Amino acid sequence: MARRGTSKTLSGDVYSQLRDAILLGQVRPGERLKPTALREEYDVSISVVREVLTRLAEQRLVVAEPNQGFSVAPLTRAHLEELVEARCSIEGLAIRMSVARGDLEWESKVLAVHHRLEGTPIWLEGPEKVINPEWVSVHAAFHATLLEACGNSIILDVCASLFDMAELYRRWNETGTSTVTRDVAKEHRDLAAAALEHDAELAEKLLVEHIRTTRDMALTGIPALAREAAGEQPA
Amino acid sequence: MARRGTSKTLSGDVYSQLRDAILLGQVRPGERLKPTALREEYDVSISVVREVLTRLAEQRLVVAEPNQGFSVAPLTRAHLEELVEARCSIEGLAIRMSVARGDLEWESKVLAVHHRLEGTPIWLEGPEKVINPEWVSVHAAFHATLLEACGNSIILDVCASLFDMAELYRRWNETGTSTVTRDVAKEHRDLAAAALEHDAELAEKLLVEHIRTTRDMALTGIPALAREAAGEQPA
DNA sequence: ATCGCAATAAGAATCGATAGTTAGCTCAGG
DNA sequence: CCTGAGCTAACTATCGATTCTTATTGCGAT
């Protein structure tokens, strides 16, 4: 039997592992997630795998078709557009509240996590451009921290969930394919600065732009979406 | 074995049944949901029960404590406050979009579902004041329809989920205990009217007031919350 | 009497086996 | 050559048994 990790339950461990695998792009959007295969990979029983898949399906990271099993959520143009609109509205709301209410402790935290982000390379060493899992995690923490002082854990939950869904689109962006150029580090720097100066309006504006730029990258940088935009079949 | 209902899978059926049972207040907030008992009640195996509980936990209608099983989400003052704030912000956003964008078809639907709501009695016949499940469902449909034209299914999902969480607070309100008085039918009527006239600002204002009034009712009308407010232990 | 430990019982998590479903293939009939 | 009923293989959903965890109770030591 598989030994327990950091979580209290076996399924909790497998849950975080599979979730990370999906968010890190180790399995393709739309690809089927066969319980039997996962059972072997994680060395747990089928029931545990099903529980994990069920949880991920409830969060829409995975889709469940009755009697046809589970697959990683597919990437589509329409979904991306809705997701971006939702994030702009809701995360926009949250950052305004957060920047307005944030106290000294929050400021310190923003500063700290932004510094950490600046010091973490996006790509792993080596010839292949493979994303640094550490960067993914710090990047998520940076965005979460910006919103954190909004003081409403329900809103924060919603934002975290939307951010996760968007992670898939960030991940499957092929570098070099997109015609859009950007300076992500600068966007983050400006965002942090606006937050620290408690300029809620500016912070919201920068966050919205940041999210929209990511969308524009994805629309041209993800082959399936670029094709879809050109009127062809999605992959 | 339990026979299949409307859903494609057995667990899908049990899911809706248990969910309804919780939303209709057939099991008390905080009460434990023992797999063995539910297994017998629904005549399905323990695995199906666990899958259902896992899904409900993911939506926060149920809480899962590792190695201590599941229970219906408890009602607390702090949670209610956050929920109300979140609903005002997010549903407010959605209704503004919806009212601005709604077309003729949407108007007709609002009119129809509001008429249906007016014609459905809140309480079932009889001496006991027991809520009419039909009203609960039409009421949910009315609120969903108001937001529907916002055109963003992700935002609608979030709103539906928040509305469900709030259902618990509506349900456990004991009539007569609250000092707050209201005319719910009028609130709904005004809301529908503002929507039909495409007055987005007014519709948002009315919706926010509607949600806040519900909160005020709950704070005095739910014994556990009233006690909590008075500085005592929550039930 | 109170504390701490061990035994126990109740219940939760995990397992592998069985039943049920769907998609794909084969082959007879048109 | 096409169609579709029936078969088959692959996979999904459901089941009940087993293993593991936690809370409780009883008992002896302080």
Predicted confidence (pLDDT) at residue B225 exceeds the cutoff of 50: yes
Burial label for A45, CB within 10 Å (0-12, 13-18, 19+), is middle
| Torsion of the alpha carbons at B204, B205, B206 and B212, rounded to the nearest 10 | 110
- Give the separation between CA A8 and CA B114, rounded to whole angstroms: 48
HSE on the CB side for B177, CA within 13 Å? 16
CB pair distance less than 8 Å for B8 and A67: yes
- Give the separation between CA B183 and CA B192, rounded to whole angstroms: 15
| Torsion of the alpha carbons at B106, B116, B203 and A99, rounded to the nearest 10 | -90
- Give the separation between CA B10 and CA A181, rounded to whole angstroms: 50
- Residue A52 approaches strand C within 7 Å at CB: no
Q: Helices B184-196 and B133-148, interaxial angle, to 10°?
A: 30
Q: Which two tokens stand for residue B231?
A: 């500085």
Regions of chain A where pLDDT drops below 70 = 1-4, 229-235
Predicted confidence (pLDDT) at residue B109 exceeds the cutoff of 80: yes
Predicted confidence at residue B228, as pLDDT, reads 79
User: What is the average pLDDT across B213-217?
Assistant: 94
**Residues in B touching A155 (Cβ below 8 Å):** 82, 85-86, 89-90
User: What is the average pLDDT across B98-113?
Assistant: 98
User: What is the average pLDDT across B221-231?
Assistant: 81
- Residue A9 approaches strand C within 7 Å at CB: yes
DSSP state of B49: H
Predicted confidence at residue B60, as pLDDT, reads 98
Predicted confidence at residue B232, as pLDDT, reads 56
Of residues B3 and B19, more confidently modeled: B19
CB pair distance less than 8 Å for B86 and A12: no
Q: Which of B15-19, B216-220, B230-234 has the lowest mean pLDDT?
A: B230-234
Buried residues in A142-181 as b, exposed as e (16+ CB within 10 A) = bbebbbbbbebebbbebbebbbbbbbbbbbbbeeeebeee
- B195 and B149 Cβ atoms separated by less than 8 Å: no
A23 CA from C29 C1′ (Å)? 53
Calculate the average pLDDT of chain B: 93
Give chain B's domains with CATH numbers.
Answer: 7-72 (1.10.10.10), 77-227 (1.20.120.530)
Predicted confidence at residue B43, as pLDDT, reads 97
Predicted confidence at residue A129, as pLDDT, reads 83
- Residue A18 approaches strand C within 7 Å at CB: no
Task: Count other Cβ atoms within 10 Å, centred on residue B40.
Answer: 11
